[in-house]
Every structure is written in structure tokens, then in C-alpha cells.
Structure 1
Amino acid sequence: MPSEDPAVPASPAAAPLHRTWPHTWWRLVDARIGIVPLPVYAILVVVLAILTREGEIRPDAPTMIAVLVLGGFTCADIGKRLPAFNRIGAGAIFATFIPSALVYYRLIPPQIEKAVIDFTRFTNFLYLYIAAIIVGSILGMDREVLIKGFLKIFAPLAAGSVAAALVGTAVGTLFGLGAHHTFFYLVVPIMAGGVGEGAIPLSIGYAAILGLPQGDVFAQVLPPVILASLTAIVLSGTLNAVGKRYPHLTGEGRLQPDHEAAAPVATAEAAPPDVATIAAAGLTAITLYLLGVMAHHLTGLPAPVAMLFLAVVAKLTSAVSPRLQAGGFVVYKFVQTGMTYPLLFAIGVSMTPWDKLTAAFTLPNVVTIVATVATLMATGFFVGRRLGMYPIEAAIVNACHSGQGGTGDVAILTAADRMALMPFAQIATRIGGALTVTGALVALRAFGG
């Protein structure tokens, strides 16, 4: 009778079957597109195709998670597999702009498009993502370096804004666009803080001052915002590749040499967080965001910026325990890994008009926009280096000042593989954008149309 002792080798006849099942299947399950196992990917494609044909696509959480995960990681995987382009953030670019093109050319079924738009707008999960990223990255920073980083980042940001305004206006003027048009309709929108908190209030202000229809003005200022964001994504991805070749120029997400990148707070009292602690950290991030929303209604400060300051205060006053801080880092990593490309896909479908992007592709516009963004980043690079910061990180933070708001921050930092810089990116986008819009409206009122 054959031995049933597990220590005894299997018979030769049983060995091939043992190697085939389940190990071959497990290897197939462990092969993934993004985070999606191949068998699950195939099942999702079939199921969503059937649901679409039957008209059963709904903007509910389970269905939209499947749609956005499938679309986001598929587009990102295509970008990451392209030689050369994969080094300059093609994953983030493809995850954002392929769905935008698919919508414009009606290659996405209308019911999927509508469901994604409804889900993105009504759930507002962009801010859930930003809340988790900001809170997790801030709680993982060293307290002293956190203070120094926030104080230092304003110098390269301010210097870059001034230099970009001068260079961008000069380039546009040389191309015959006129100094007035170049400054107010190209350069200012680039650094206005995106669409919702940049292009829209800017167009409302311009329309009121000049007596023009707001929609017409918005149609002029939106294309530079989108094209500048694309430029910032490409240049930030390029800087990531430069950092890999010249490691002394980058902290791989650290803003300055004595700044430990976001990591779990390691103390004798802080054991690895359990599931309940991780859930508590996620709720803490949501609570800080809601406090930011309340602060926005009371003071007018953008909710993400208010949330950022509240997270900084919580960190500096030790209001959050080391264990909860470690849980916050786990939430940060989970959101960064699992939600980034699905979020970019949703942004591409619902917030990135392909026709507005392509409308900006005239030679004078492209050269002016690229010159503006490149100057902004280059100034950040050199000023940051002079102040003792890692130049690549300082340049990438400055790039976020020319991004498409919070959506641009996500795409830029994803392309650069520097998501730990999100708190500083929010400073560049929100505060830098608000100051730009305010200054532009004051200048337009003073100098007229």
C-alpha cells in the first residue's frame, strides 16, 4: 500500500498532475494587469460587455469600481509597455487622455460614459483620494522637516511664477499673440489652479470686468489649462527618468536631504497596525476633510487646503497617536496603489474635453505653454537646489502649479512617481492658483481690456 506520508515524494504518475494543478493556475492568477489578476480581468470584460448590452450599467459603487479599475489599469498598462514613453509617465498620460479621446470619438458606450460621469460628480471621490494621500503622507513626515519643507517651498514657487510669467509672455509676444492676450489668456490660466478653482472663477472675473459672455471667455482659458497640465505630466515623468540616472538630484519623494519620505512612524509603542486601526485612520482622513469643508464655508479657504493645514496641526501637536499614524500610512499606500489609475480614467471621461485639448494645438500656443511650464519647473529646480532642497522634487512641486487642479496633481505626481509630495503640490495648486487668479483680476481691472 503506498505511503500517505507527505514527506514521501509523489509517484511519477502523480507528479505531472501536481505540477499542472493548481500551480499552473496559480501562476496565471498571479499574473496581473495593474492590480487585476488575468482571470478576473477576463471575467470583468465579459460581464461588463453583457451588462452593457442589456442596459444594466448603473452608477453604483460595485459596477463603477469594476468599470474604472478595468479602464484605468488597461490604459495605464498600455502606456507602461511603450518603450521610451514609459519613462516619462505614459501610464498616467494614457489613463487620463485615452478615455477622453474615446468619449469624444464615441468609442465608449453612452451608458458607461453617463454612469462614469454621474458617479464621479456625485460621489466626489477625487477629494476622498486627496484626503487619504494628504493625511497619510503628512502623518508619515518628520515633524521638524515638515515645518521646514512648508516654509521653504514658497520660495521656488514664487520665483518660478514670476519667471514663468515673464518668459511665457515674452515668447507669446514674439509669436505675434500680443503681450496682453498671452499674459491674460495663456500664462495666467496655466497657473490659475486648474478648472474648478482656476479657469471658472477667472472666466467669471474676466467676463464681469470686460462685459463679455462668461461662456466665451471660459472657452478661451480652458485649453491652455489642459495643455499645460499635459506638458507638466510629460516633463515630470522626464524628471523621474533623469533622477534614476542622476540619483544625487533627487530624494525619491523627499523634499530635502534630512526629510524622511512618508513611512510608518516606528516607535517602541507603535506595533504594526491592525485592520481596526487602518479603518480608524481612514475615518480620521475623512473627518479632517469634512472639517476642511466646514472651514471653507466659514472662511472661503479651499477645503483641501484647510484639510492640509488641519493635518499639519494634528501632526505637529501630536494629536494623532503613532499607531494611528502608521495606519494612515497604510491607507495612503492602499489608495495610491489601487485608486490612482481608476481615478485618472474617471477624470479623463468626465472632466477632460478632448476637443478643448486639441484646439490648443497651434504652434504659437504650444510653444508659449511649453515655455511657461518649463520655466516654472526649471526655476523651481535651481532655486530649490540653492535652498538645500532636492532640485527634482522642487521642480515637480512647481509643475503642480501649472496642473489641472487636484486632478492634475494626481496625474503629475503619478507620472513622476512622487505621490508623497501631494501636501506640497496642494500648496502650489490651491494657494498658488488663488493668488494668481486674484492678481490677474486686479491687474485686468487696473489696465483694462
Structure 2
Amino acid sequence: MAEQTMTVSPGETDRSQTSSTLGRLWRAFMDTDVGIIPAPAYVVLIALLVTFSATGHVGGEIAMVVGIMAAFAFTLGEIGNRLPVIRHIGGGAVLVTFVPSYLAYKGWIPAPAVKVVGDFFKSSNVLSLFIAVVIVGSILSMDRTILIKGFAKIFVPLAAGSVVAALVGTAAGSALGLGAFDSFFFIVVPIMGGGVGEGAIPLSIGYAGITGVSQGEVLARVLPAILVGNLTAIILAGSLSYLGKRRPSLTGEGRLQPVGDADLTEQANTLKTDGNMQNFAAAGMVAVTLYLCGVLAFHLLHFPAPVVMLFMAVVLKLCHGVTPRIQSGSYAAYKFCLTAVAYPMLFAFGVVLTPWDKLVAGFAPANLITIVATVSAMVLTGFLTARWVNLYPIESAIVAGTHSGMGGAGDIAILSASNRMRLMPFAQIATRIGGGITVTIALLAMAYLNR
């Protein structure tokens, strides 16, 4: 039988090669991400948002809100992580947190987009749920020994840092002509008060009652210190992360203390790859349940919900109440929040809770120097005292720096800038407990001085 041969025309060969090349280019394009968004989806998403804005159809449904937050957040994050110099000091977190405030102030983010993000952020209280998953996820996936020793030890650099920061900040403000009283009560204390809701508002109410000045006027005075203090802590945290890359002996890369190979957060890496969504969902529901326990405690007993939730998670871990599957799911939930949710939360925080005019007011030279001196003293003291209690200096300094953060959102920004989100439980101690103690002492001191 005669052998048949097939001939391929040059045109067919060219078409086949072109098709193959286009296929490779498309796959490469699809596998290129802007943050977490595949490049083709990113292009279409931007076009859709522009069209919705131009036609006046920016609605409040959750898909629209997620699209707006993700598009802005990951765009700014990618820019910040690529800029020279600033990328080494947490540029992504800095840009995602503070640039949206400026864009909203200038009207460069469409007003309807600002409104739907603000309404969603405030009405859903999604930030608290995010923090709950991060806290519970990091605690339940943490080694029990690290948890016990870490919580006991972290109070040393926190207490020392707070005292030194108060002294340095008050002295700096006095030397610059602000006066010791105003420097301490209106700059130093707000920085360490735990943010806006837990710090600035109770302080403004207390100060107004003691001094007779209106609460609004007091709030306007303390807000710049909180905002600029948080920015300073973010930059310092990013700088410490860069130092850790140069001096590995100073950092545990997110571990608070040297414990050999006992950190189960690392061991969970072998468990999280099983792809079991049941474990992921189960851990998420544990976090939601603990969060709701905290909310109920707040309504019935007026205890801070995050503190109650943190306490219950610690007790659950210490009592061996966490099985390996929940531990694995908790780590996966924590990593999901870190990868996909942190930047959008920071964007919303910048748009909704960071008024640009108040931020700029904090850049008056005397105020700025006092704020930077206060936060730097706190961070440096945390760094220098770490070895006293066998902690890694960089992690200790970063946790101390969260004492000057704007509550939970500030903690997210500081830890994101340093790539140390697993320190969230310790940051919450600094912010919530440290802030509560600071506010209480300040109000008692002001009442005594104004008798």
C-alpha cells in the first residue's frame, strides 16, 4: 500500500505558530497579578468602575464595594512596593493607608464611590471581623509555649517603652515651646491612647468634662497626633523590617522569641496545603463565634470586645481546645486575610477614618518633632529591652510601636508594613490594654492637676 504523506502549507504553519504565541502571551497575561487580581480581570474591572461612575450607577451592593476597594488598594499597593527607597520601609501599606485620604480630599475618588465604601465600612463593622479572624487565626495556630511566654514577656518592653516615650515626648514638646502640659496631654497621651474610638473619643469626653472646653475642640486637637503618630510607626516598622533583612540575627521573621523549631505556625505550613475547605470554614466560624462572644460581653458588661475575644482565644489554646485541623484551618484563614483583605481594609480606613486636613495639621514643625520623638523613643526602647526577656529586638520594637497605632486599623497598617501580621495578638495587647491604661492614667492625672 502506498505510503501517504501530509504536507502543511506555509500559511497553516504560520497560523499555528501565531496561535501558539498568542496562547502563551494570554497565559502569561492571565498569570500576571495586580495584587491578587489577574491582569485581564484588573483591566476589565477598571473599565467597569469608570463606566459605572460616568453613568451614575455606582450602587451599594457588596460586589461594587469589593471591586472599588480592591482596585484602588492593590493599585496603590503595587506602586508602593515598587517605588525606590520607600518600598523598603513598607511603601505599599503607607500608600494604601494615606494616599486614599488625599485622593478623597481632592475629590479624585468619585464621591459616590467614597460614599458606598464609607457606608459599607461603617455599617458592617467589617474591620472588626477582619481583626477577629487575624487574631484568632494567629493565636490558634501559634505554639502554646510561645503563647504563654510571649504574653508574659511582652509587657516589659511595652511598659518601658511607654514610660520612656512619655518622658521624651513631654521633654521634646517643652523644649519646642509647646509646654509640658499640652505636650503630654494633647500629643503624647493621644498617641498611646489606642486610636480614635478607644482613645481620642474617651479622652475628648474626659478632657471636656474636666476643662470645660467643648468636646469637638478637644477632638480636633488630639486627632493630628494620633494620625501622624500612626504614620510614624508605620514608617519605623517598615524600616525595622528592612534592617531585619540586613541583620538576620535581630529578627525572628515574625516570631516574637527564639524557641528553636517549636513554632507551630511554621509547622502548619505542612497542614494548610491539604486544600480542605471544611477546615478553613470551621476555623472561620470559630473566629466569628469568639468575636460575637466579645460583642455580647461589651453590651452586657461593657468590656472591650477585642480584649474579651483575645482572652477567650488564648484560654482555648492554653486548655488544648484546638485540634490539628482547626489549627491548620486557622492558619489558612489568617493567611487569606493577610493576602486578600488587608490592603482593601487599609484603603477603606484611609478614605473613611483619616481626614487629610487633620493629618496635615499634625505636620506643624513643633508638633511633628514631638510626635516623631515620642514614637521613636517607644520603638527604640522596645528594641533595646528585648534581650532582657529573650525576645527578638525587631519584633519587640514593632509590637511596642503598635502602642502608637490607630486602634485595630493602625495595627494592620504597622504589621503590614513590616510583614509581621502574625504579631497581631501581641499588637492588640499594646493597643487595647496599653491604650486603656494610658487613657485612665491621663484622665486621673488631668483631674488631679485641675482641682
TM > 0.5 fold call: yes
Matched AA of 2:80: G
Match of 2:384 among 382, 385, 402: 382
Counterpart for residue 262 of structure 1: 265
SS in 1 for 2:293: helix
Distance (Å, rounded) in 2 between the aligned partners of 1:264 and 1:67: 36
Counterpart for residue 355 of structure 1: 357
Deviation at 1:16? 1.2
Distance (Å, rounded) in 2 between the aligned partners of 1:2 and 1:396: 72
Matched AA of 2:88: R
SS in 2 for 1:212: coil
Distance (Å, rounded) in 1 between the aligned partners of 2:75 and 2:270: 40
Deviation at 1:58? 1.7
Q: How does 1:31-430 map to 2 (within 5 A)?
A: 31-258=32-259, 260=263, 262-263=265-266, 265=268, 272=274, 274-430=276-432
**Offset from partner CA, 1:23-51 (integer Å, 9 cap, x none):** 21010111111111111111011111111
Structure 1 pair 23–435 and aligned structure 2 pair: CA distance change class (3 A): same
Distance (Å, rounded) in 1 between the aligned partners of 2:394 and 2:445: 32
Deviation at 1:264? 5.3
Distance (Å, rounded) in 1 between the aligned partners of 2:153 and 2:109: 45
Matched AA of 2:72: G
SS in 2 for 1:176: coil
Counterpart for residue 9 of structure 2: none
Distance (Å, rounded) in 1 between the aligned partners of 2:107 and 2:275: 46
Residue pair 1:273, 1:327 contacting (<8 A) in 2 also? no
SS in 1 for 2:404: coil
| Deviates most, 238-247 or 381-390 | 381-390
Instruction: List alignment gaps of at least 5 residues for structure 1.
Output: 4-10
Q: Does 1:433 align with 2:435?
A: yes
Matched AA of 2:126: F
Match of 1:446 among 442, 445, 448: 448
Structure 1 pair 220–41 and aligned structure 2 pair: CA distance change class (3 A): same
Structure 1 pair 266–86 and aligned structure 2 pair: CA distance change class (3 A): closer
Matched AA of 2:265: A
Residue pair 1:264, 1:329 contacting (<8 A) in 2 also? no
Deviation at 1:280? 1.3
**Offset from partner CA, 1:322-347 (integer Å, 9 cap, x none):** 11110111111111100111111111
**Offset from partner CA, 1:61-96 (integer Å, 9 cap, x none):** 111111100010011111111111100011001001
Aligned length: 441
Distance (Å, rounded) in 1 between the aligned partners of 2:212 and 2:264: 49
Matched AA of 2:338: Q
SS in 1 for 2:194: coil
Residue pair 1:377, 1:396 contacting (<8 A) in 2 also? yes
Distance (Å, rounded) in 1 between the aligned partners of 2:249 and 2:220: 43
Residue pair 1:273, 1:326 contacting (<8 A) in 2 also? no
SS in 2 for 1:82: coil
SS in 2 for 1:331: helix
Instruction: List alignment gaps of at least 5 residues for structure 2.
Output: 7-11
Residue pair 1:410, 1:419 contacting (<8 A) in 2 also? yes
Structure 1 pair 70–219 and aligned structure 2 pair: CA distance change class (3 A): same
Counterpart for residue 7 of structure 1: none
Distance (Å, rounded) in 2 between the aligned partners of 1:271 and 1:25: 28
SS in 2 for 1:262: helix
Structure 1 pair 130–2 and aligned structure 2 pair: CA distance change class (3 A): farther
Distance (Å, rounded) in 2 between the aligned partners of 1:187 and 1:212: 19
**Offset from partner CA, 1:358-411 (integer Å, 9 cap, x none):** 011111111110000000001111111221100000000010000111110000
Identity among equivalent positions (%) equals 51
